[in-house]
């Protein structure tokens, strides 16, 4: 058994086996990402789709994803390429794209308004080694790198990538351990620690999906936004009030079809509460 140190799970992975994420394995006592370069999705997206509202607005970014995830969100919107049974079947049907090839693709789309490369769709941090290598090449080409992540990873992983990442959208899925444990299978404390460090190394925007009867209370939104407002930069200056927060509407998906979509008025109400504390609040899926 060899321990994987990417996230809170610290999986003991046997030789040739897989960790919980379905994408990290072990060979000769070394843990590696079997999904590295195995793309399940590639698209030229508006930067606002990440979502990033205050990072090169109006531009486009080449977005790449693979399979595997270390969380188990019951409402997963990308389950078909992330961690479902269908996603795991993709492992044998993906073509390897080298870091050189992916970076070159980003450059080719520059004439179409592309500013760089976004690692997204599944959880990118479980293949951070591949991202680090690719992102370095993208930087060498004078372009930008973006991470769209659940933020459920060790700080050591973030430090490996920090020199090459220009912006992140990080899911802050809720603000209670119960929600993270029961609905997402994750760790709120790990995500909070990741966000605290991320805001010190690059542009960060946060996203909270509002699920009816789960994380839709005014009290929880106030607690969340007060915490965000107190975040500090690398010099110790409080900068949290200017961190953009995207509050999104839930639609029934995957294993959570037992409730209707979030009422639009609920999203708007929680956005107004967030604006009591934060300067940049956006609503999504409304």
What pLDDT does 92 receive? 66
Separation in Å, CA 192 to CA 59, 91, 198: 29, 31, 10
- The pTM score is 0.96
Domains of the chain plus CATH, in order, are 37-284 (3.20.20.70)
Nearest to 134 by CA among 260, 225, 36: 36
Torsion, CA 154, CA 248, CA 164, CA 33, rounded to 10: 50
Distance between CA atoms of 180 and 143, rounded to whole angstroms?
A: 34
pLDDT average per 10 residues of sequence, the chain (286 residues): 94 95 94 94 96 98 95 89 67 85 98 97 96 98 98 98 98 97 96 98 98 97 98 97 98 91 98 98 94
pLDDT at res. 81: 75
Main-chain dihedrals φ then ψ at residue 274, nearest 5 degrees = -60, -35
């Amino acid at each position: 058994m060899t321990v994987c140190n990417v996230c809170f799970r610290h999986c003991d992975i046997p030789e040739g086996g897989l960790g919980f994420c379905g994408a990290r394995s072990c060979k000769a006592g070394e843990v590696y990402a079997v999904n590295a370069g195995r793309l399940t999705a590639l698209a030229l997206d508006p930067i606002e789709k990440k979502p990033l509202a205050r990072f090169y607005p109006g531009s486009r970014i080449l977005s790449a994803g693979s399979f595997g995830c270390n969380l188990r969100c019951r409402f997963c919107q990308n389950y078909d390429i992330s961690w479902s049974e269908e996603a795991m079947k993709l492992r044998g049907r993906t073509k390897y794209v080298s870091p050189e090839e992916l970076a070159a693709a980003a450059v080719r789309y520059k004439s179409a308004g592309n500013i760089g490369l976004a690692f997204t769709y599944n959880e990118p941090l479980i293949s951070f080694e591949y991202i680090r290598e690719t992102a370095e090449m993208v930087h060498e080409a004078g372009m930008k790198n973006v991470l769209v992540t659940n933020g459920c990873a060790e700080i050591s992983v973030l430090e490996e990538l920090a020199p090459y990442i220009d912006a992140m959208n990080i899911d802050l899925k809720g603000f209670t351990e119960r929600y993270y444990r029961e609905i997402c299978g994750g760790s709120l404390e790990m995500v909070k620690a990741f966000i605290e460090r991320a805001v010190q190394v690059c542009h960060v925007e946060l996203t909270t999906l509002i699920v009816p009867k789960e994380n839709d209370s005014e009290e929880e939104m106030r607690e969340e936004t007060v915490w965000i407002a107190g975040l500090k930069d690398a010099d110790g200056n409080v900068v949290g009030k200017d961190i953009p927060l995207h509050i999104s509407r839930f639609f029934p998906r995957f294993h959570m079809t037992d409730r209707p979509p979030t009422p639009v008025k609920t999203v708007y109400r929680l956005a107004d509460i967030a604006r009591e504390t934060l300067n940049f609040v956006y609503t999504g899926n409304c």
